[in-house]
Amino acid sequence: MLQPQPIRSDHEVQRDVTDTLQGDVRVDETSLNVQVKGGVVHLRGAVPSLFQKSMARQLVERIKGVNEVINELQVTPVEERSDAILKEDIEGALKRDAFIDERGITVEAKHGVVTLSGAISSYTERAAAEDVARLVVGVKEVINHLVVAPPPVA
């Protein structure tokens, strides 16, 4: 029979969150502020990429005693890239991905915020397209309006 886990104090959770973020090379934690109240973790500050913002959330969600993560991290890219270049880079990355049929996807970028729209054939493909866009340097946010629609019957 499983024994219930003892309740962890906010101080213990905050220490573990800070240690985890400092110990992971995928997140630049130098500008992060972590606050914990009642097991709810607030992440504030700035990171250079959307990937790091997402990774910080994923790392913190796995810590014992964390009930919720409120991710208020701002993405401030080290290098500003034009929307046209972001669009081009994302379209190229979608074309290279073996799990994505990019022909049904439209990419728009405005001030670093990328919107994906169109129709694709599976939820796996939808998630993969969003992941590809998040990894492009300079992307601040991804809005995924992709609709899953079965392919037309021939």
- Taking each helix axis from N to C end, the angle separating 50-61 and 10-23, rounded to the nearest 10 degrees, works out to 140
pLDDT in tens, 126-144: 999 999 999 898 999 999 9
Backbone dihedral angles phi then psi of residue 75, each to the nearest 5 degrees: -90, 115
Instruction: Return the CATH fold of 10-75.
Output: Histidine-containing Protein; Chain: A; (3.30.1340)
Average pLDDT, the chain: 92
83-148 CATH:
3.30.1340.30
pLDDT value of residue 150: 74
pLDDT at 144: 97
Residue 3 has pLDDT above 60, yes or no: no
Residues 64-92, mean pLDDT to the nearest whole number: 94
Tens of pLDDT, residues 22-62: 999 989 989 999 999 999 999 999 999 999 999 999 999 99
Give the closest residue to 133 by CA, choosing from 91, 79, 84: 91
Please report how the helices 83-96 and 123-134 are oriented relative to each other, as an axis angle in degrees rounded to 10: 140
Every domain range in the chain assigned CATH 3.30.1340.30: 10-75, 83-148
Among all chains, which residue has been given the structure tokens 């973020």?
21
Tokens of 87: 């669009």
